[in-house]
Structure 1
Amino acid sequence: MYKLLMSVNKEILLLRRDLGGLIILFIMPLVLVITITLIQDSTFKTATETKIPILLVDNDKGEISGTVLKSLGESGSFKVITQFGGKPLNEEVARDKVFDGEYQMAIIIPADLSAGLKAKVDENVNSILEGFSATDSVAAKPEVIIDTAPKEVRLYFDPASQTAFKNAVKSTIDKMISQIETKSIYTAFTEQMGEETTAAFKQESYISFKEIVPMFENKAMVPNSTQHNVPAWTLFAMFFIVVPLSINIVKEKNQGTQVRLRTNPVSYFTVIAGKTVTYLIICMLQFFLMVAVGIYLFPHIGLPPLDLNGAFLLMSVVALFSGFAAVGFGILLGTFAKTQEQSAPFGATSVVILAAMGGVWVPVFAMPKIMQYIAKASPMNWGLEAFYDVLLRNNTLAGILPQIALLFLFFVAMVAISIVYDEKKRAV
């Protein structure tokens, strides 16, 4: 135990000589988590709270354009603009403003769309009723020639608009027009049958959707940008200790410190244990700092606070085993690297790759199929899933045992390989 404590003390002394690097280990993840969360929270609010201004050119002046205008206004997502300077918009002006990036989109409703739809529906209804005797009693109506050729609602999108936004708008407009067509068919049938029941038609959908969210202490557990980003960037910060840890090991080899240590009755395992304890303390301090920022600082800068839902202890367990994995990877890299020029760039790059693979930047479900399988091999993915299981899915210790077991086994494997490699290298 005394040798282990002295080894830990040695590592602390080394870190104290590089206070700038040590500060970066804490400041960098804080800047990252604040910046990324601000960006994602702003994007989330843009999509859910802020109304997007869109242009509407109404060449129809009928029921369809009125319904589209009303539905878009009531959706809460769009602010519909139909005039500029007191004059109605035309297609050319709307197109230019959208293509110049001033507006996200423009909707062009063609002339006679409502009248044409009604005429087409009446034509189809008459064709159906001709096969029934009821048509004999239907009073003949004077024919009005109306163009029933297919019409097109033209949509102009800003070239920078995302595909998801375009598809969502198209789906919304298609649903509106489908409801109008359904009502028109219903109205045409009742008129041909000589009944006055059009007022009974209701456009409300028979089937609706309700999202059921998990509850904790009678409170809905709806995830926000903070709950996603704090665990993700905490993991990133933890694994970034690979860089200083591997550099310190390389320094000890190149400066002869490791040789002097081995001349003493100190095993390489004790040296590694000292580094493990020291850097685990740093990992846990990073975790506590990130959690404190999420709870106390975020509300003061307009971000949702980090709600732990009573899971702080379990999150600390996940952080501890994630720290083990990070330390193990750093020890392996430092053992294999021969120079600082090898360890530093490779360590930083490998951490970025593991973060990208593990779902820190892009959710795993949004990755290609092959990358979803590869992601399961990233220790960051194990840690991230364990954090989410505890924080968002209200899981227990038994539920996260597979992930924390994988993290600890990863640490054991990395340390074992390092010890074996070091012993073989010295035996040569």
Structure 2
Amino acid sequence: MSRLIASIHKETRLLLRDWHGLLVLFVMPALFVLIMSLALQGQFAQQGGGQLKGWLSGEQLIVENTQAEAFVNLLREQPDLEIRLAMPGSPLSTSDRLFQIHILARFDQALAGEGDPRTGVELSFAPELGLRERALIEAAVQRTFAELNTTLIAEELGFDRAYAQRELLKTGFITVVDGAGNQAATRPNSVQQNVPAWLIFGMFFISIPFSTTVIQERQQKTLMRLQTCGMPLSQIYLGKLLPYLVINLLQLGLMLAIGALLLPLAGAQALSLDVSFVALVLISISTSCAALGWASLVAAVSRTIEQATILSGASCIIFAALGGIMVPRFVMPPLMQDLSWLSPMAWALDGFLAVLVRGGGCAAVAINSLMLVALGGLLASAAIFISRWKQNHD
């Protein structure tokens, strides 16, 4: 036990001296969280049910007591749309002018079936706007027109708007629920997605300083001297891994503090920490185990620091791209969503979201945690086996 404590002490001192590596481990994920959370909060609002911003124009807007005015009032009531009066000459763009609704002068006549053509509304989109957003906007405008037209029909039959809503439109007939029969859970917002995502990326990025240290000690024959003193290779690796586990937990604390305290000051939503802290620590330690197992394997298979740096960086980027770190899985096509489970970062992110978004406890992250710990143990065992094989054959 004394040799293990001495090994941990040695590795901790080496780690504290490498302030460049510490800056990478803490500053890089922190910057990613800040930049990505702020940059994507508008896009996540659209994906998660936020209002889509658009503009309204037309000659009929200044005429009172028309059906066009009633249509505009109903448009303003749509929860999915944020409607403002158009500024002449302003082009559409994905910044704040996603679409424009133009009310034609012949709106009332077209609604009554008079004239040819019978178009009463023109809808245009920003060129960069995706097909999904276009479909949502068109559906909202169509729903508004259907409500207006149904209300007019009801009034012609001698009924009021309440009757039209209840008997003709059947408002409330369709209720969205999740698989458990509860109200559908909301998707993560930008902060809920990016804080755990880039925390996981930072945890796996620890493979660079870890593998660098191992290769340096291998080249300097430090590992051989430690083994000569009777210290098993597995104990040497354990002494190296434990300080990095502490670093990973410190990364967790920093990312949560940024999400809960710093991001709201920058205009983003605050990360709610009213969750199971035990479950959060459990999935964090499990993620760290997988990350450290991968770091051990990289250190074992790499012969030079350059090889380790390239392998670590490339693998982290691939894991992140595939596992929903850079692009959220819910916006991926079905095939990519299935392939994302090849990345351990996807397992970890799913566990974090289960806690931070869905309010789950230890049971909700148990399977993901077990998978991550098992992977970490398997990778670490493979690293020890490869290291022993190299010692016997080099």
Q: Same fold (TM over 0.5)?
A: yes
Partner residue of 1:193? none
Range 323-332 or range 65-74, more displaced:
65-74
Distance (whole Å) between structure 2 residues aligned to residue 239 and residue 333 of structure 1: 11
For the 8 Å contact 2:275–2:359, the answer to whether it is kept is no
TM-score normalized by structure 1?
0.78
CA contact (8 A) 1:72 1:80 kept: no
Specify the code of the residue in structure 1 equivalent to 2:72.
L
Q: Does 1:78 align with 2:82?
A: yes
- Give the drift of 1:357: 1.7
| Other-structure match for 2:101 | 107
Query: What is the CA deviation profile of residues 113-132 of structure 1, one whole-angstrom value per residue up to 9, with x for unaligned ones?
Result: 4324424xxxxxxxxxxxxx
Instruction: Specify whether residues 106 and 302 from structure 1 end up closer, same or farther in structure 2 by C-alpha distance, changes over 3 A only.
Output: closer
Q: CA deviation at 1:174?
A: 1.2
1:379 to 344, 359, 364: 344
- Cα distance in 2, alignment partners of residues 109 and 44 from structure 1: 30
Shift in Å at residue 301 of structure 1?
3.5
Tell me the distance in 2 between the aligned counterparts of 1:358 and 1:100: 27
Measured after TM superposition, the shift of residue 242 of structure 1 is 0.9
Aligned residue identity for 1:207: T
Aligned-residue offset at 1:326: 0.5
For 1:19 and 1:361, the matched residues in 2 are separated by 27
Deviation at 1:397, TM superposition (A): 2.1
- Cα offset, 1:332, TM superposition: 0.1
Give the equivalent residue in structure 2 for 1:335. 300
Distance apart, 1:17 and its partner CA: 2.7
* 1:89-108 alignment runs, 5 A limit: 97-98=91-92, 103-108=97-102
Question: Cα gap change, 1:165/1:241 in structure 2, threshold over 3 Å: closer, same or farther?
Answer: same
Task: Quote the Cα distance in structure 2 between the aligned partners of 1:373 and 1:310.
Answer: 28
1:204-255 Cα offsets, whole Å, 9 max, x none, are 3422266679xxxxxx999543333222221111111011111112222223
Of 275, 291, 299, 2:256 maps to 291
Which 10-residue stretch deviates more, 411-420 or 146-155?
146-155
Relative distance call for 1:162 and 1:419 in structure 2 (3 A) is: same
1:407 corresponds in structure 2 to 372
Change (3 A) 1:247 1:161: same
Matched residue of 2:115: which SS? coil
**How far apart in 1 are the matches of 2:44 and 2:242?**
40
Distance (Å, rounded) in 2 between the aligned partners of 1:163 and 1:174: 16
Q: Which runs of 5+ in 1 are unaligned?
A: 85-92, 120-145, 191-196, 214-219
| TM-score relative to the length of structure 2 | 0.84
1:40: which partner in 2?
Answer: 40
Distance apart, 1:331 and its partner CA: 0.5
Residue 157 (structure 1) aligns with: 125
1:51 CA displacement: 8.0
Number of the residue aligned with 2:3: 3
Greater C-alpha Rg: 1
Alignment of 1:260 onto 2:225: yes
- Partner Cα separation in structure 1 for residue 309 and residue 143 of structure 2: 55
Cα shift readout 1:374-422 (whole Å, capped 9, x = no counterpart): 2222221121122222233333323322111111111111111112212
- How many residue pairs get aligned? The number is 380
- CA–CA distance in 2 between the matches of 1:99 and 1:347? 39
- Given candidates 336, 339, 358, the residue that maps to 2:323 is 358
Cα displacement (A) at 1:149: 4.7
In 2: Cα distance, 1:360 partner to 1:369 partner:
16
The residue type equivalent to 1:154 in the other structure is E
- Checking the alignment, whether the CA contact within 8 Å between 1:117 and 1:148 is kept in structure 2 is no
What's the secondary structure of 2:381's corresponding residue?
helix
Q: 326-335 or 345-354: which moved more?
A: 345-354
Q: Which residue of 1 aligns with 2:171?
A: 207
Query: Percent sequence identity over matched residues?
Result: 27
Change (3 A) 1:147 1:159: same
Indicate yes or no: 2:70 matched with 1:67.
Answer: yes
What is the CA–CA distance in structure 1 between the aligned matches of 2:388 and 2:96, rounded to whole Å?
A: 66
User: Is contact 1:41-1:303 (8 Å) kept?
Assistant: yes
Relative to structure 1, the CA distance from residue 35 to residue 7 in structure 2 (aligned partners, 3 Å threshold; closer, same or farther) is same
Q: 1:101 to 1:335 in 2, by over 3 A?
A: closer
Question: Could you tell which deviates more after superposition, 340-349 or 386-395?
Answer: 386-395
Q: 1:358 to 1:46 in 2, by over 3 A?
A: closer
Give the SS at the match of 1:376. Answer: helix
**Which residue identity is paired with 1:118?**
A
Give the Å deviation of 1:323. Answer: 0.7
Distance across 2 between alignment mates of 1:58 and 1:185: 25
**Contact 1:183/1:203 (CA < 8 Å) preserved in 2?**
yes
Higher deviation after alignment, 275-284 or 198-207 = 198-207
Cα distance in 2 between the residues matched to 1:25 and 1:340:
18
Select the residue among 359, 382, 389 that pairs with 1:417: 382
Within 5 Å, which residues of 2 pair with 1:211-222?
Answer: none
For structure 2, list consecutive stretches of 5 or more residues without a partner in the other structure.
179-184
Matched AA of 1:18? D
SS of alignment partner, residue 74 of structure 2: helix
Task: Identify the range of structure 1 (370-379 vs 43-52) with the bigger mean alpha-carbon deviation.
Answer: 43-52
Give me the CA root mean square deviation: 3.3
Q: CA deviation at 1:277?
A: 0.8
